[in-house]
Structure 1
Amino acid sequence: MSLTDTRVTPDLRTPAAAGPGRRISFWRVLGYIALTVAAIGVLAPFFWMVLSSLKTNNNVFTVPIRWVPDWQFGNYVDIWTKSDMLTWVKNTLILSVVITFLQVLTGSFAAYGFSRLRWPGRDVLFLAYLATIAVPWQAYMIPQFILFSKLNLSNTLWAMVALQAFGAFGVFLMKQFYETVPEELSEAARLDGLSEYGIWRRIMLPLSIPAIASLTLLTFVNVWNDYLGPLIYLRDPDLWTIQIGLKTFIGQYNAQYALIMTGSVLSVLPIAIVFALGQKYFVQGIATTGIKG
C-alpha cells in the first residue's frame, strides 16, 4: 500500500457494530416466540372443537385429550337431519346481511352529515347520539319490548331489523374516517356541480372502503352471534337463529357431544370465512380511522 493511500476499511465485525444488531434480532425472535405461544393458546380451543366434531361421543372428553379424531364425517350429516339447522342458518344469514347493509348505509350517510355539513347544534347532537353507546341495552330493553309489542313487530324478523338498523358506533367509525379525507375534494366537487348526495356516493364512499369493510365485519359478527335479542323477540321456532337453535339442540341432545361440537363448528365457520376475506381491509380501516390527513 502506498504512503498516500490513507483509506481505512472499517471492520464491520467489531462488537460495537454487531452488538446492537444481535440485541435487535434477539428481541425480535423473542417477540415471535411470544406471539406464537399466544396464537396457539387462542387457536387451541377452536382446533379441539373442530377435531371433536369428527369424533364419537365417548372420545370427546377423554383424559388425556385425544388429538387424533375418529373421522366421523357423518356427524356433519346427522346435525342437519336431527335439527332444523337449515332454518336457523337461513334466518341468521338474512338478519346478518340485512342489518349489516342497513347499518353501513345509515352509518355512512349520517356520518357524512356530521363530518362535512355545517348546521346549528351539529356537535351537540353528535355527542348526545354518541353517548347512547354508554347506555347498556338491558337498561331499556323492557320498554322497548313493550313498544314493539304494541306495534305488532314482536315475534317477527322485522323486530330485529328495526332494533339494529341504526347504530351510533357505525356513525362514529365512519365519521372518524371521513375526517381523514381532505376537504378540498368536497369543495372541488361542489364547484363542479355535484350535490351533497353525489359527493357522498361518488367520492366519500369509494374512498372509505377500508372503514366500510371494518364496519361490515364488526356488524356481521355481532348480529350473527347475537343471542339475547332473538331470545326475547323471536318465539316461533321457525324464526329462531342459529344461536337459539343450538341452545335448544344442546338441551335435547345433551349427551350427543360430537353433534354439539359439530353445530358449534358450523356456527363459527361463516364468521371465520368473513373475517379471513375482509382481514386486509379490516386492519387497514382500523389503522387509518381517526388519523387526520
Structure 2
Amino acid sequence: MEPEVQQEPEVKRCGILTLCGRPNVGKSTLTNALVGEKVAIVSNKPQTTRNRICGVLTRGESQFVFMDTPGLHKAANRLGDYMVDVVKKSVADVDGVLLLVEPIANVGGPERELIEQIKRMKVPSVLVINKIDTVEKPQLLAVMEAYNQVHDFTAIVPISAKRRDGVEELLDLLSTFLPEGPQLFPRDVVTDQPERQICGEIIREKLLYCLEKEIPHGTAVEVTKFSERESGIIDLHATIYCEKASHKGIIIGKQGAMLKKISTMAREDVERFMGTKVYLETWVKVKENWRDNLNLIRNFGFDNRD
C-alpha cells in the first residue's frame, strides 16, 4: 500500500499586514524572519528598500500577507518622493499595522506622523520594539511608557528580528487580526515579486554591503536577461547603473576586483534562492542623476504610480 498523502488544511483566514517605520529599524529583517525566507534585501544602510515588498506566510488555516515598506524619511530627490509615497499608501486598506521602532524612549517625528495615519485607519495596531538585545529591561519599559502616552496600541511586542526572539509570539498575536476569507496566494508562494526582480535586488544588496557611503544609493540594477536552459541552469545578465564615472571606477575596482566580489556574492545568494546553478554576467554603466529622472526611475521598476 502506498503511504497516504497528508492533505494541507484549507486556508480559512487571510489578512494583509503592513510594516512601517523610519529607515534602518529592521523592517526587511523582520519581514524575512516572519516569512522564514529571504524576500527582502537587508543592509545596515538606511533607505535600502525602495519598493513595497510583499512577503507571504501560509501555515495551517491562516495566510499572512506582509507588506514591507521603505522607511519614512525626508525625500532628497524624485526617487525619495516615490519611496515616501509608497509608505503612505501601504498603511491604507490593510487588516493590521506594525509600527517598528528602536528601543529609544522618545517618540520622534516620523513615528508621530505614522501614528496619526494609524489612528485614522481604525485597524488593530502593534508597536513592535526591535533590537531589544541592545538594551536593559528598565530602558525597554521606558520606551513602552513613551509610546503608551501617544497612542493606545492593540499590543506592544518587544523582539529581536535578527535573533528571531519574540517572532513566534508576534505571529500568534497577528493571527488574531486575520479576517475570515480565502487565501490570496498559493500555499508555496513566499513573495509576489517576480524571480528576476528578486535577483536584481540581491545584486543591489551586495552593492550596499561592499560599497561605502553614498555610492550604493546612487545605484540601480536592471536584469537584462533571465533565462533557463534545458539543464536547469539559469543565465542571468544584469547592468548596474551609477550616477558618476568616478563611481563606476569604484564599483569595478582595481583590475575588476570589486565587481568580481559583488558578482560572486550575488551569484551564490541567487543560486541558494533559485536552487540551481547560475551563470551571472554584470556590466556597469553611468546614468547621471537618474534618481531625479522619472523615466529612468520607471525603467528601473521603482515607480508604479498611476
Q: TM-score, normalised by structure 2?
A: 0.23
Higher RCO (C-alpha under 8 Å, 6+ residues apart):
1
Structure that is richer in strand per residue: 2
* Structure of higher CA gyration radius: 1
